[in-house]
């Protein structure tokens, strides 16, 4: 299996070359995919091969093996994100001077791998003032307790609620570093809400995690109203996740010619990207030229995962192949800030990031009058007035507060909450029907959600997804349709409250924690 050199060098943890009592040590971390270490052929420093008898490797929390043991056994698990510490019986002085390390080894499914890196020798870190950690088992009860004591000693406060949890810390590898406990956020239920989706069909109870009074009650009221008129139609109309590298050339023509070459070699670039994952599928690459820079916006489908890390790894591999096969590139950055990760942007509104979801409903006039005490004409007129306010303020959302419900659902179901920055974009639209009823729709152009991977499998988060019937594979479109429907329920509830002047009185009744 071909692995670009730029990707292969990521196995080495830069800054880990450290002086020890017996010589030197450095760390390798698997940033590729699950593998099995078959054989260590050689390790060299500055061109000098280290004797096999002087090499030992720590491959687990309490498992240290000699190079000979590994080569004889030939079946050492090296899982994704696992760390191996290499110990060398060789001395080098602590110095800012760079040394060249070269490693040759064999691992399944990659075959023979060879790479070299440069690093300088550092002194052993002093433990005082540093957060306690164990690179081989950072989630054991012992290391967690050490960190809790460290935090208490440092702050002078006590850990009580934070340190009480029901989840197994060992399941959190890849979710949190320096773990000491949990933050508990109250969860309320809203619903049921009736949804007519292509994937979400029927009635759903909605878990919402928040500390904002009136939020759950407001969404519940919106759901009640929409149910009376037949529920909400919710549809996923697009799906894309991006990573956007930039390539720098000597002039604009070089950048232009490079983009033409990329377009001509898209099939091979797709092959290299998709080799890193059985899930990520590269659908297309947008190109944007400015000065002597070529910005490439790689667009993927990522299955049931949100996919930012997945597409980062895939794009890195593709760019590694590009760098190895195209001359004239003067500089390269994997991310140019053009994917707008964790930031709201106009390009995401236009081109989609995550799932593009449209939720819509037609509400009977009599239902608005009886439940919300507001006429459809009042809401429609208020929406047009608010549209002027949206234009003047330059917001990315012409609705009222869709991020409120999205955030509450994100916290409850283990989504990456920072993705609310992109998911906050919304296009609210309404019109009066010939019968005097109100048609409303909410388009969420960049809803980033997952039902598998990330934080979705942790304790309460998994339970909340299971309550929705949305945990696991082949459930992400269903979940996206539900989130869109819930957001629409919140929009009509708050729009009705503002239009009928119930907004302040409701907060006075439900939302003040005196």
Q: Does residue 166 lie within any of the structural domains?
A: no
362 and 487, same domain (yes or no): yes
What is the reported pLDDT for 504?
44
CATH number at residue 113: 2.60.40
- Answer whether 75's CB lies under 8 Å from 108's CB: no
Q: Does residue 472 lie within any of the structural domains?
A: yes
Rounded Cα–Cα distance for residues 309 and 280 (Å): 11
305 and 354, same domain (yes or no): no
374 and 492, same domain (yes or no): yes
- Answer whether 448's CB lies under 8 Å from 353's CB: yes
Run of H or E including 361? strand 354-363
Rounded Cα–Cα distance for residues 507 and 307 (Å): 38
369 and 500, same domain (yes or no): yes
- Answer whether 168's CB lies under 8 Å from 457's CB: no
CATH number at residue 357: 3.90.770.10
Q: Does residue 484 lie within any of the structural domains?
A: yes
Rounded Cα–Cα distance for residues 168 and 178 (Å): 15
Looking at 333, 362, 377, the residue that finishes a domain is 333
- Which residues face 77 on adjacent strands? 36
Q: Does residue 136 lie within any of the structural domains?
A: no
Both tokens of 265, joined, read 């070699």
Q: Say whether 416 is catalytic.
A: yes
Q: At what angle do helices 266-274 and 252-264 cross, to 10 degrees?
A: 70
Rounded Cα–Cα distance for residues 70 and 23 (Å): 20
Both tokens of 489, joined, read 């329920």
Q: Does residue 292 lie within any of the structural domains?
A: yes
What is the reported pLDDT for 33?
79
366 and 231, same domain (yes or no): yes
Which one, of 367, 370, 372, 394, lies nearest residue 382 by Cα?
372
229 and 253, same domain (yes or no): no
Domain that holds residue 42: 5-120
Q: Say whether 507 is catalytic.
A: yes
249 and 215, same domain (yes or no): no
CATH number at residue 258: 3.30.70.420
DSSP state of 122: B
Would you write out the chain's pLDDT as a tens digit for each of its 514 residues? 667 677 788 899 999 999 988 899 999 999 877 899 999 999 999 999 999 999 999 998 888 999 999 998 878 999 888 999 999 999 999 999 999 999 999 999 888 999 999 999 998 765 456 899 888 889 999 999 999 999 999 999 999 999 999 999 999 988 999 999 999 999 999 999 999 999 999 999 999 999 999 999 999 999 999 999 999 999 999 999 999 999 999 999 999 999 999 999 999 999 999 998 899 999 999 999 999 999 999 999 999 999 999 999 899 999 989 998 999 999 999 999 999 999 999 999 999 999 999 999 999 999 999 999 999 999 999 999 999 999 999 999 999 999 999 999 999 999 999 999 999 999 999 999 999 999 999 999 999 999 999 999 999 999 999 999 999 999 999 999 999 999 999 999 999 999 876 544 454 555 555 5
Q: Say whether 212 is catalytic.
A: yes
Looking at 285, 304, 333, the residue that finishes a domain is 333
Structure-derived torsion over alpha carbons of residues 164, 170, 174, 175, reported in degrees to the nearest 10: -20
Both tokens of 437, joined, read 């009823």
Residue 253's contacts (CB-CB under 8 Å, 6 or more residues apart) are none
384 and 469, same domain (yes or no): yes
Rounded Cα–Cα distance for residues 353 and 498 (Å): 31
Q: Could you say which of 69, 102, 196, 212 is catalytic?
A: 212
Q: Could you say which of 41, 274, 416, 437 is catalytic?
A: 416
Structural domain count, the chain: 3
**DSSP-based three-state secondary structure for 254:** helix
Looking at 333, 361, 380, the residue that finishes a domain is 333
Vertex 27 angle, CA 86 and 40, to 5°: 45
Q: How many CA atoms lie within 13 A of 490 on its CB side?
A: 24
Helices (H), 284-375: 308-325, 346-351, 365-367
Rounded Cα–Cα distance for residues 336 and 242 (Å): 11
The length of the chain in residues reads: 514
301 and 389, same domain (yes or no): no
Both tokens of 508, joined, read 């006075």
Q: Does residue 43 lie within any of the structural domains?
A: yes
Rounded Cα–Cα distance for residues 140 and 119 (Å): 30
**DSSP-based three-state secondary structure for 355:** strand
- Answer whether 124's CB lies under 8 Å from 18's CB: yes
Q: Does residue 398 lie within any of the structural domains?
A: yes
Q: Does residue 286 lie within any of the structural domains?
A: yes
104 and 20, same domain (yes or no): yes
216 and 321, same domain (yes or no): no
199 and 283, same domain (yes or no): no
């Amino acid at each position: 299996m071909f692995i670009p050199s730029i990707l292969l060098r990521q196995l080495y943890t830069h800054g880990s070359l450290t002086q020890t009592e017996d010589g030197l040590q450095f760390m390798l971390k698997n940033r590729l995919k699950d593998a099995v270490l078959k054989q260590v052929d050689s390790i060299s420093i500055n061109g000098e091969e280290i004797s096999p008898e002087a090499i030992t490797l720590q491959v687990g929390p309490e498992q240290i093996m000699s190079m000979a043991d590994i080569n004889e056994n030939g079946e050492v698990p090296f899982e994704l994100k696992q760390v191996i510490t290499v110990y060398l019986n060789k001395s080098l002085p602590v110095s800012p001077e760079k040394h060249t390390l070269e490693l040759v080894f064999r691992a399944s499914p990659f075959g023979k791998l060879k790479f070299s890196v440069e690093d300088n020798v550092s002194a052993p870190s002093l433990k005082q003032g540093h957060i306690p950690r164990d690179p081989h088992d950072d989630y054991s009860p012992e290391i967690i307790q050490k960190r809790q004591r460290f935090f208490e000693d440092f702050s002078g406060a006590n850990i009580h609620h934070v340190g009480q949890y029901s989840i197994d810390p060992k399941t959190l590898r890849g979710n949190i570093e320096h773990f000491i406990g949990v933050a508990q956020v109250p969860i309320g239920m809203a619903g049921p809400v009736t949804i007519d989706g292509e994937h979400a069909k029927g009635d759903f109870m909605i878990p919402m995690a928040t500390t904002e009074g009136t939020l759950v009650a407001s969404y519940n009221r919106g759901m009640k109203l929409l149910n009376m008129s037949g529920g909400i139609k919710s549809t996923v109309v697009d799906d894309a996740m991006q990573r956007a590298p930039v390539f720098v050339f000597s002039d604009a023509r070089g950048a232009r010619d490079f983009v033409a070459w990329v377009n001509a070699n898209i099939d091979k670039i797709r092959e290299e990207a998709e080799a890193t994952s059985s899930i990520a599928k590269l659908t297309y690459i947008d190109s944007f030229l400015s000065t002597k820079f070529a910005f490439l916006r790689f667009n993927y489908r990522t299955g049931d995962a949100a996919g930012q890390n997945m597409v980062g790894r895939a794009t890195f591999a593709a760019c590694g192949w590009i760098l190895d096969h195209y001359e004239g590139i003067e500089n390269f950055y994997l991310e140019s800030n053009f994917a707008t990760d964790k930031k709201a942007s106009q390009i995401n509104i236009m081109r989609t990031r995550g799932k593009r979801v449209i939720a819509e409903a037609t509400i009977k006039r009599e239902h608005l009058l009886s439940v919300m005490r507001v006429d459809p004409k009042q809401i429609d007129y208020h929406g047009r007035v608010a549209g002027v306010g949206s234009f003047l303020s330059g917001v990315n959302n012409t609705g009222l507060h869709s991020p409120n419900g999205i955030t509450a659902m994100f916290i409850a179901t283990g989504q990456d909450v920072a993705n609310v920055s992109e998911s906050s974009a919304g296009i609210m639209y309404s019109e009066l029907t010939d019968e005097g009823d109100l048609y409303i729709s909410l388009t969420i152009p960049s809803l980033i959600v997952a039902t598998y991977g990330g934080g979705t499998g942790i304790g309460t988060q998994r339970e909340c997804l299971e309550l929705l019937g949305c945990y696991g594979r082949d459930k992400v479109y269903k979940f996206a349709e539900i989130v869109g429907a819930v957001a629409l329920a919140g929009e009509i509830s708050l729009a009705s409250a503002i239009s009928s002047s119930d907004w302040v009185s409701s907060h006075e009744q439900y939302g003040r924690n005196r």
